[in-house]
Amino acid sequence: MDTANIALPYKKPWFREDVCSNIGVGFDDWYFDFEVGSSQGCKKVIRKWKVLDLCQKNEDGTNPVWTYDQVLVVMNSAAPTFANCAPVEWCHNGPGCVTHFQSLSITATDDCDPETKLRYRWQLDVDNNGTYDSFGTGSSLNPSLGWTIGTHRVVWEVEDGCGNKETCTQLVTIRDCKKPSPVCIELIAELMPSTCAIELWASDFLAANSSTDNCPGPYRYTFDAAGNQPNRIFTKDDLGRSPINIYMWDAAGNSDFCITTVTIQKNMPCTNDVSRFVLTGTVKTETNANVSDTKVSVMSGTNELAFSMTNTSGTFGFNEMDANNYEVVPKRDDNHRNGVSTADIIKIQRHILERKSLNSGYKMIAGDVNKSNTITAADLVELRKLVLFKIDRFGNNTSFRFVDKDYNLTTGNALTSSFPERVSLTNAMSGSVEADFVAVKIET
């Protein structure tokens, strides 16, 4: 026991020393605990003092010794302090949903007693409903029947050797963290003729009595990972067999998903049906050579709805679409110099001088280099600049122009501004629709 703050003369023995004295002082402490809460204090220390004078001798030659028993009574009113009473949350991952076994512990400190001398008691309010269900002593708590899923309240009390007490309330939450295990089935559904749609629920895709979870429901089922879409409207845009994710949610908010397929069929005409068609076509030259890398767009006014690039066979195609008033527009504008030579300059020059006229409408479109709907010396000048690498592209033309293959193109109508460079589609079309084009490379 530290008595540094005790005032004299109670702090240590007092004695008078003279020049012949050589005094030695020591003590032993005997500790005694009073009954907790005693008005006489909480601890008693008997300090047995011993004083030895080395300058004096007894008759037997030993040094005389003086002893005295000093009684110190400890009084303390400061309560212990809890070190860790914050709420705790534990995950239960099964098996089962009934009990979770885990020990809850607490510690406290005191200004007088060591932690081992402190006494703990606890009260447990299962489900935090205001009623204490069990009581015990000690600084750890592990219910014999385990913790149930939910939130519980523990009231801790700690007492030191002087009877000072402190309490704290700690919330313990046991959360179900185990994901459910959904089992999906494939589903085939028929569109309703009256609406050309069908409403399906995510729960429709779950196999009966096959999906499991460690805890009882209720369960929810959704089409989305956010858990907000329990049902979905399928329309003719969803026709065919498609993969789909189905999410299962338990009462604790845990979720997992299974992957299945949904097949949407339309075996009867719908009341609000519109025609649908599949568009395909080709892009080839006058001599039937395939033209690849041509972008073919389906336009509604100035809006491009979809596009397809021609392959090495010169073909393109689109997925099935609703019939409407569309325009199919091909475009290719690259490599202006490709295939152009001085021979092309000579052919145009002969045509202008009427020595040898171009003998097809497609050749005349190719010779109209500046897209003026005429073939003149200006076309020769621009073509010569391209051949001589003074320019890299035509100033007022693309590298290719296109003509609807069904149009009767002649040398007489080739240079009019009205020859069709696009194909028009109407809302009456259905089934398979073709749009074929003749590609014209400027100038070859």
Burial label, 377 (beta-carbon count in 10 A; 0-12, 13-18, 19+): exposed
Q: Which of 236, 317, 276 is nearest to 427 (CA)?
A: 276
In this prediction, residue 22 carries a pLDDT of 82
Model confidence at 111: pLDDT above 70: yes
Model confidence at 37: pLDDT above 90: no
- Cβ atoms 305, 327 nearer than 8 A: no
In this structure, CATH architecture of domain 187-265 = Sandwich (2.60)
Distance CA(70)–CA(3), nearest Å, equals 12
pLDDT tens-digit map of 383-433: 999 999 999 999 999 999 999 999 999 988 899 878 999 999 988 788 899
pLDDT tens-digit map of 221-249: 999 999 999 999 999 889 899 999 999 99
Residue 18: which pLDDT band, with cuts at 50, 70 and 90?
low
Model confidence at 260: pLDDT above 60: yes
Average pLDDT of span 20-43: 76
Model confidence at 259: pLDDT above 80: yes
Q: What per-residue string of b and e applies to 399-438 under the rule 16 or more CB within 10 Å gives b?
A: bbbbbbbebebeeeebbeeebebbbebeeebeeebebbbb
Distance CA(374)–CA(365), nearest Å, equals 9
Q: Which of 179, 188, 120, 194 is nearest to 154 (CA)?
A: 120
Largest Cα separation within the chain, whole Å, is 162
Separate counts of helices (H) and strands (E) for the chain: 3, 28
pLDDT tens-digit map of 361-377: 999 999 999 999 999 99
Model confidence at 10: pLDDT above 80: no
Residue 20: which pLDDT band, with cuts at 50, 70 and 90?
low
β-pairing verdict for 276-285 and 431-434:
parallel
Q: Which of 143, 151, 149 is nearest to 92 (CA)?
A: 149
In this prediction, residue 35 carries a pLDDT of 65
Residue 72: which pLDDT band, with cuts at 50, 70 and 90?
confident
CA distances from 68 to 23, 29, 40 (A): 15, 12, 22
In this prediction, residue 109 carries a pLDDT of 93
In this prediction, residue 6 carries a pLDDT of 72
pLDDT tens-digit map of 295-352: 999 999 898 989 999 999 999 999 988 888 999 999 999 999 998 999 989 999 999 9
DSSP assignment letter at 206 = B
Bridge partners (DSSP) of residue 208 are none
In this prediction, residue 42 carries a pLDDT of 77
Average pLDDT of span 39-64: 85
Residue 379: which pLDDT band, with cuts at 50, 70 and 90?
very high
Average pLDDT of span 57-69: 90
Tell me whether the CATH fold assigned to 81-176 matches the one assigned to 187-265: yes
Q: Which of 198, 363, 214 is nearest to 285 (CA)?
A: 363
In this prediction, residue 273 carries a pLDDT of 67
Residue 203: which pLDDT band, with cuts at 50, 70 and 90?
very high
Whole-prediction pTM: 0.50
Residue 194: which pLDDT band, with cuts at 50, 70 and 90?
confident
Model confidence at 125: pLDDT above 90: yes
Given the candidates 2.60.40.10, 3.30.365.10, 1.10.3720.10, 3.30.1540.10, the CATH classification of the domain at 81-176 is: 2.60.40.10
Q: Domain 274-444: what homologous superfamily? A: Immunoglobulins (2.60.40.10)
Residue 1: which pLDDT band, with cuts at 50, 70 and 90?
low
Model confidence at 154: pLDDT above 60: yes
Model confidence at 41: pLDDT above 80: no
Distance CA(363)–CA(429), nearest Å, equals 33
Model confidence at 96: pLDDT above 80: yes
* Phi/psi at 226 (5° precision): -80, -15
- Count of all residues that appear for the chain in the document: 444
Model confidence at 11: pLDDT above 80: no
Domain range annotation of the chain:
1-75, 81-176, 187-265, 274-444
Average pLDDT of span 153-157: 97
In this prediction, residue 59 carries a pLDDT of 87
Q: Which of 250, 75, 47 is nearest to 160 (CA)?
A: 75
Give the whole-number percent of the chain exceeding pLDDT 90. Answer: 65
- Cβ atoms 291, 332 nearer than 8 A: yes
Residue 117: which pLDDT band, with cuts at 50, 70 and 90?
confident
Model confidence at 17: pLDDT above 70: no
